[in-house]
Amino acid sequence: MKILALGAAGFIGSHLTHRLLKEGHIVTAVDLQSEKVAEDLDHAHLTFLRQDIRSPAWDLDGMVRDADLVIDLIAYANPGLYLRIPLEVFRLNFLENLKIAEACVRHGKRLIQFSTCEVYGRTAASLKNAAVADPEDPIHATFSEDTSEYILGPVAKHRWIYSCAKQLLERVLHAYGLEQGFNYTIIRPFNFIGPKIDFLPQKDDDIPRVFSFFMDALLNGTPMKLVNGGVNRRCYTYIDDAIECTYRIVENHGGVCDRQIVNIGSPYNEVSIRQMAETMREIYAARFRDPAVPLPEIISVPGEEFYGEGYDDSDRRIPDITKARTLLGWEPVWGIHDTLETTMRYYVSERRNAATTCNG
């Protein structure tokens, strides 16, 4: 297939691009930077286009017309940005992505649209005066693509603008499917992690994702900061599991993913953010520690101090992956410990390689 992959050199995109090329597809990859796809830039079936999709001059329409399949991974997907530049988050995640979707509609091209598990919001058990018998029962935090209700925070908690933008895009794609037979598949990722998730070391003005912040702290001996005590829980998914499921969606044998929304996540890998920090520190101490660098302390900080005014968060989210199992025969295989250790090993190796290069 001739595949147009937008946002192809990001964390998920770089791994997916590599898999698509390995499987023999012809890929036109569009992104602002190419570092994460450096190993594939010389591949005969890859055309890399360094392009900002917000530029009115680039030929989106022509590129969609010439593709067999469009995969859209473009997004601002960092909680720090939701608070710092909420309008730009809305513009990119909804308005610019809508242009891509409408080009696919015009030319009758299938679209795989990456969304987010953040559309689900908070759990009912987290609400004030929630009348649930057992707030810890996972049933209250297990989200299904076609039946779960959405609970978001108030407007002043503007970190939810990301969730709202993604949710609105999903609803528009659904409407195009209803009214015009548009063929799409929406993917809701549940906290993918793995090599290349972020660049380390972090820059001074970065507000990183959780794994990257903790990894940076371990490498440099700075505090591992838990936002509001780190009580919120997540299910982490290793990137290899995620790409395997995504590739089955690309193949779409029998059209099983036509006009479907699919959760991709590992319900078995639920940990609190505090547990994640403690586990990463234990792994680092056992496997990777430089005796010259002290292990960082784990401290708690208020959410608005760490991120800024308007911060809020999902308390817990577990993916119901029944649809991925039944439609695609997919099951995640990576456990949380191996997921963390393998990803950590990548960054430790990167640090050591960088130090060797400097000393050489």
What pLDDT shows up at residue 99? 97
On whether the CB atoms of residues 228 and 303 are closer than 8 A, the answer is: yes
Q: What integer pLDDT is reported at residue 201 of this predicted model? A: 74
Half-sphere exposure of 239 (CA within 13 A, CB side): 20
Q: Which residues of the chain have pLDDT under 70?
A: 202-208, 356-360
Residue type, 258: D
Angle at 312 between CA 112 and CA 165, to 5 degrees: 30
**Residues 82, 162, 176, 307: which is the catalytic one?**
162
**Whether residue 268 lies in the annotated active site:** no
Question: Residue 132's pLDDT is what?
Answer: 83
In angstroms, rounded to a whole number, what is the distance separating the alpha carbons of residues 355 and 115? 37
CA-to-CA dists, residue 336 to 18, 41, 266, 272, angstroms: 24, 32, 9, 12
Rounded Cα gap, residues 309 and 325, in angstroms: 40
Give the separation between CA 164 and CA 156, rounded to whole angstroms. 13
- Residue 27: what residue type? V
CATH architecture of 75-359: 3-Layer(aba) Sandwich (3.40)
Q: Tell me, what's the pLDDT at 131?
A: 79
pLDDT of residue 175: 98
pLDDT tens-place string over residues 1-44: 999 999 999 999 999 999 999 999 999 999 999 999 999 999 99
- Distance, CA of 152 to CA of 18 (rounded, Å): 36
Distances, alpha carbon 27 to alpha carbons 3, 41, 119, 123, 306, in Å: 5, 11, 29, 39, 39
pTM tops 0.75 = yes
Residue ranges of the domains in the chain? 75-359
Tell which residue, 19, 18, 17, 40, has the closest CA to residue 29.
17
Within 8 A by CB and 6+ apart from 164, the residues are 90, 152
